Structure 1
């Protein structure tokens, strides 16, 4: 029977702990307080001469934030601090400074450490938690008339998760999840493009203008997502609707986040495209502001590059990537990537990653 190895990648669990790999062991309060620091710490001067470039990675969970610093020889340290949802840069930098402390570098000595960092990568559950906790922007949608309930209806399978067959077959048990965009924040527009990309019903621009004005001025939305049928084949109607929305913003003197589905997720299946566009409008801007704050704090230490993040399919990109919703699962995916690599190192094919 094949063996299985269980690996925990959750930064909240604390199973990985914080400390050093290659730089010695972590100091224990009390017991190590009287030990000679020179026995467990390498000289910062000696480190700076022998290892000039570093990688800084982060795993930010809902409870704890871990920052991992790796040198050119593969030696690493891990700092851990409570996550600060109101400003993630606080928890990030506290963890960063603790990691440097495990390297034998004080906060004063590490003020310019960022100049030696080759790249900094963020993974975490910030955007995912925004969606789960429904704490993102108040978002409205402008959609093809007749599809105003596309978000509130969703897919039938989404309402049956965890239900037994006896419950599924009795509609009175069915309960829809709370939508990110309630139906009262949806505005329908008369327009239609067929499956070949040919406009068969012209877009009624007056309806777009009225819908945008209603959402911005009356409903006080913070973001608008535009989702028209077949826009992935021909985006002409969506793009024109976006222009009208910007004109309305200028007239009202108010600016909101504006996303169009043909740029966020130019793929078939309107529900998938709608979900992606709404998440981009609802949660990506708050998450991006958090990432900018982290990048700003790193820049104060001399870090001269852009902060990177991990996408849901394992790629790494700049935090200015326009389709940032793809990084919503960066934390869990980062753990899977690490477990996959570890499996190749230890020669274990069967791994349960949690």
Structure 2
């Protein structure tokens, strides 16, 4: 079976082909086409197939990680969206909650106010009210009001509508009826409901999640439909699968209905790819470290399990989000990050990026700002004549010119300014990792850092040294690890129901009935996607808290029928999880089951362990020596550094840094006072020594 993984990044689009029967593996990189990412996707697939004599008609699956939804939100370039809600609640998506991101700042930006997803003039209210605890109807839906609201929105040129009513997570009847009316009045509009996107309590977050779906829905739907058709027109009859934020993939139809599934699409694929690489070298406590052209993405894996976000911290561009997502922290730090002196005279790097166009000055496309890539080239850590396997030449003189301009501003020598760019960037990334580890009671020194992306292997060892992390793993194809991650996952769907049941008065029949109903709902979806029931596995999780608390912990629930013994096990697991998270537990206090989640996982074809690399010798791998600059003992020093061709390095033979290792999709830097070795899986393992 032949599969292709395609990950669209800010600068490059990465592709990997795998024949799961023969083990053939091929990779490719092309520049991203920001005006229409599908152009880069199709061009990359065509070139990959031509270069490796692959018949496009034999490709069974195309797995795709997309940034379309993410970029729409980050750039605030979504659809003209409308919202229909209950009378008196027009401004719920503006007011938000009493809590703020920065508790004591009166000048902080609140994105839902400064750049609302739905402008106030497009927020309409109608009569009708449901009430807890069962969602009974207190006031009938004003259907004529819904029709008038739809007509007004249509006249204003609104492209999409989110329908958000109070307590619809208990009873979606009013939202479903309103949706039918709006679709009749606005047949060309994208229409969604909060009970479909996120059927759980917390109305501000639920309404905002639905508004996000409306904001990005038309663009995502058009992109997916266009890509699916273009692939077919190119002779690829295989099925398209889209990476979702929950760590699984989804069908184009599901993504078109729930575009918020893709808000961390490509980032999730990177974490999966990092986990796969870690498993191959026998490491299960990992920090994934994905640096591309515009951002650095960080994920945590403990004992092979991915960290997931919770209701307190799930957000995109500052907007709260109620969706299952892997816990991935992103900062504006990448190869294209621009170095500058701010108005206060401080030396900064990022988050602004030169992107794919014009890109760093080194790319020769008109870039005139100093970037991280330019700094690496000035210090000799990139080879101007062997970038992307020699398919792209870098302009070293342009890099020296822009870094020289920065150095003049700072009053520093050229190399000091270039090394300063890297030190600031590395410190920013180390601080980001601390926020996900040290600040949560996790000691990063017990983890391995998996460094990938186009720039991850350039910076991984120095970032690890700042954190005391003992080793860095560089995957066999680091620049396309996110694309590889796409080939390691399964089809995954989630559903949720709010319970609000307390431990001393649990309606077990209702709990079991809801679990079975949710599983049946997902089973119908898998059947529609032609996934055999035997290939589907199920997971249950409860959101639990002590009565009176404001936020929950995720606790695994037993499969099958839950009885008294099963409940006792659930309470005990919650006490232990609470003690682990907060340092204490209240074992005499009642526990509340807030939500119950069911996940269905449909098995997909996956990558298997690759064959051991053929290897060679250090002499055969050595291309030349080159002057490279590193900071050692607080002083910048130039080292005559061997430059190796990765494919010819020996297997399981340790060698000392400094060294530069070249391959098509990335460059690996092995600094002084470290050692490196190629593992039998093909990964490079860099072991850190004393670099104080």
Q: Which residue of 2 aligns with 1:83?
A: 32
Larger radius of gyration: 2
Give distance in 1, aligned partners of 2:46 and 2:288. 32
Q: Which residue of 1 aligns with 2:81?
A: 139
Give distance in 1, aligned partners of 2:193 and 2:105. 37
Question: Secondary structure of the residue that 2:237 maps to in structure 1?
Answer: coil
Q: Which residue of 1 aligns with 2:231?
A: 298
- Of 239-248 and 208-217, the range deviating more from structure 2: 239-248
Q: Which residue of 2 aligns with 1:289?
A: 222
Could you state the TM-score of these two structures normalised by the residue count of structure 1? 0.74
Question: Secondary structure of the residue that 1:290 maps to in structure 2?
Answer: helix
Question: Secondary structure of the residue that 2:253 maps to in structure 1?
Answer: coil
Give distance in 1, aligned partners of 2:61 and 2:184. 40
Give distance in 2, aligned partners of 1:239 and 1:212. 14
Give distance in 1, aligned partners of 2:105 and 2:219. 39
Question: Secondary structure of the residue that 2:27 maps to in structure 1?
Answer: strand
Structure 1 position 353 matched with structure 2 position 282: no
Structure 1 unaligned segments of length 5 or more: list them. 1-52
Give distance in 1, aligned partners of 2:154 and 2:289. 44
Give distance in 2, aligned partners of 1:256 and 1:305. 29
Give distance in 1, aligned partners of 2:286 and 2:5. 26
Give distance in 1, aligned partners of 2:146 and 2:188. 16
Structure 1 position 65 matched with structure 2 position 65: no
Q: Deviations over 1:113-142 (max 9, x none)?
A: 222112111102111101111211100100
Deviation at 1:183, TM superposition (A): 1.8
Q: Which residue of 2 aligns with 1:56?
A: 4
Give distance in 1, aligned partners of 2:230 and 2:188. 27
Query: 1:130, 1:283 within 8 Å by CA — same for their partners in 2?
Result: yes
Structure 1 position 331 matched with structure 2 position 266: yes
Larger % of strand: which? Answer: 2
Deviation at 1:332, TM superposition (A): 0.3
Structure 1 position 256 matched with structure 2 position 194: no
Deviation at 1:188, TM superposition (A): 1.3
Question: Secondary structure of the residue that 1:350 maps to in structure 2?
Answer: strand
Question: Secondary structure of the residue that 2:13 maps to in structure 1?
Answer: strand
Task: Compute the RMSD of aligned alpha carbons.
Answer: 2.0
Deviation at 1:279, TM superposition (A): 1.9
Give distance in 2, aligned partners of 1:90 and 1:291. 12
Structure 1 position 175 matched with structure 2 position 109: yes
Deviation at 1:206, TM superposition (A): 2.9
Structure 1 position 214 matched with structure 2 position 149: no
Greater relative contact order (CA < 8 Å, ≥ 6 in sequence): 1
Give distance in 2, aligned partners of 1:84 and 1:156. 41
Give distance in 1, aligned partners of 2:76 and 2:274. 30
Q: Which residue of 2 aligns with 1:8?
A: none
Alignment counterpart, residue 272 of structure 1, candidates 194, 198, 205? 205
Equivalent residue runs for 1:36-55 within 5 Å = 53-55=1-3
Alignment counterpart, residue 168 of structure 2, candidates 224, 231, 237? 231
- Aligned residue pairs: how many? 282
Deviation at 1:318, TM superposition (A): 0.9
Give distance in 2, aligned partners of 1:91 and 1:123. 13
Give distance in 1, aligned partners of 2:157 and 2:120. 15
Deviation at 1:246, TM superposition (A): 2.9
Change (3 A) 1:246 1:54: closer
Q: Deviations over 1:191-246 (max 9, x none)?
A: 210012111122222322222222111x2111111000111211221122122223
Change (3 A) 1:174 1:297: closer
Give distance in 2, aligned partners of 1:155 and 1:58. 39
Deviation at 1:324, TM superposition (A): 3.0
Deviation at 1:101, TM superposition (A): 4.2
Q: Deviations over 1:49-72 (max 9, x none)?
A: xxxx31101100122211211122
Structure 2 unaligned segments of length 5 or more: list them. 291-692
Question: Secondary structure of the residue that 1:220 maps to in structure 2?
Answer: coil
Change (3 A) 1:255 1:292: closer
Alignment counterpart, residue 65 of structure 2, candidates 123, 135, 139? 123
Structure 1 position 199 matched with structure 2 position 141: no
Question: Secondary structure of the residue that 2:221 maps to in structure 1?
Answer: helix
Could you state the TM-score of these two structures normalised by the residue count of structure 2? 0.39
